[in-house]
Structure 1
Amino acid sequence: MTRNVTIASRLREVFLDGYWIANTNYKEQILSVSWQQAIRKVDNLNTIAALTYHINYYLAGLLKAFENRKLEISDKYSFDLPQIQSEADWNKLVIDFLNNAEKFASKVEQMEDSVFDMPFVDEKYGSYLRNVEGVIEHSYYHLGQISLIRKMILSDQL
């Protein structure tokens, strides 16, 4: 299997259909909560909605950077979740996230092998490979949080 296919498979695993590393994935977790659960605050933790927005923010920003070779996102805006006040608001975020997850994996899958070793936008950001692997690692970190927060919310409602 080539590097692009292997990495795209790992992206789909964390976002859409995998169970190997975390025994779950984003799609399973976020489709299994109501909008009220998604915005529910547990202690001082981020909400499921905020974490979903956060990862989607990076996916959307990196997709743009793949196209225009400019990184126009900033960490300081990555938790600026628009208010979610209804099921429609939550569904829009979920659909946007799932679409961006598939677009991101597809874009990586289409990359030539040599691209992974090239500098990403600017040499200070490292290579494409480093950045895409960073997305995977960052996403698993927050998937763990979502999974735990979801369990806390569901156990509290029993």
Structure 2
Amino acid sequence: MTKSEQLANRFREVILNGTWIANTNFKNQLENTNWQLATIKVESLNTIAVLAQHIHYYIVGIKNVFINGKLEIRDKYSFNFPPIESQDQWEDFLNKFWNDTEELVQLIEKTPEEQWSKNFVDQKYGSYLRNIDGMIEHSYYHLGQIVLLKKLATYSF
């Protein structure tokens, strides 16, 4: 299996279908979560919806780099989203999340092996490999938060 295939599989696992590392994934946690539970505020913590949108924000930004070589996202905007106010809005967001993830996974799978050691847009961001590995780790970090928030929010709901 190539490095590209391995990275694509790891990324797909954390978002769409894996259980090896955390015994769950984003899709498993979010698909049967209604918009009210996803948007419940537990003290000063981010909501489940905001954390999911945060990860989606980075997926779209990284996907854009693979498509056109431009990094057009900024960390300072990575938690700024309009509120989700209905089940339809929540489901629309989730569909975009799954579709954008699958598109990025396909781009990762097709990446030539020599690309992984090249700079990700600029030297200050490190290599393509570092960024995809970082995104996988970042996703697991927030997945853990979502699992805990679901448990806390369920008691409030």
Same fold (TM over 0.5): yes
User: Which amino acid is 2:148 matched to?
Assistant: L
- Corresponding residue of 1:94: 94
Please list the CA deviations of residues 110-139 of structure 1 after superposition, one character each: whole Å capped at 9, or x if unmatched. Answer: 101111011111111110000000100000
Per the TM alignment, residue 28 of structure 1 is displaced from its structure 2 partner at its CA by: 0.5
1:3 matched to which residue of 2?
3
1:155: how far off? 3.7
Matched residue, 1:103: 103
Percentage of pairs with the same residue:
49
Show the counterpart of 1:76: 76
Find the counterpart in structure 2 of residue 134 from structure 1: 134
Separation (CA, whole Å) in 2 of partners of 1:3 and 1:155: 42
What's the CA shift for 1:109?
0.6
TM-score (norm 1): 0.96
Tell me how far apart the structure 1 counterparts of residues 37 and 127 of structure 2 sit (CA, whole Å): 38
SS of structure 1 residue aligned to 2:90: helix
- The gaps in structure 1 that reach 5 residues or longer are none
Cα distance between partner residues in 2 of 1:46 and 1:33: 16
C-alpha distance in structure 2 between counterparts of 1:58 and 1:36, whole Å: 24
Mapping 1:32-47, distance limit 5 Å: 32-47=32-47
Q: Distance in 2 between matches of 1:23 and 1:151?
A: 16
What do residues 91-125 of structure 1 show as CA deviations (whole Å, max 9, x unaligned)? 11111111111111111011011110111111111
The one-letter amino acid paired with 1:142 is: H
CA RMSD, aligned part only?
Answer: 0.9
Return the letter of the residue paired with 2:47.
T
Match of 1:66 in 2: 66
Unmatched runs of 5 consecutive residues or more in structure 2:
none
Counterpart secondary structure, 1:22: coil
Are residues 1:51 and 2:18 paired? Answer: no
Cα distance between partner residues in 2 of 1:70 and 1:2: 25
- 1:116 — aligned with what? 116
Between 1:146-155 and 1:126-135, the stretch displaced more is 146-155
Q: Structure 1 residue 44: deviation in Å?
A: 1.0
Map of 1:154 onto structure 2:
154
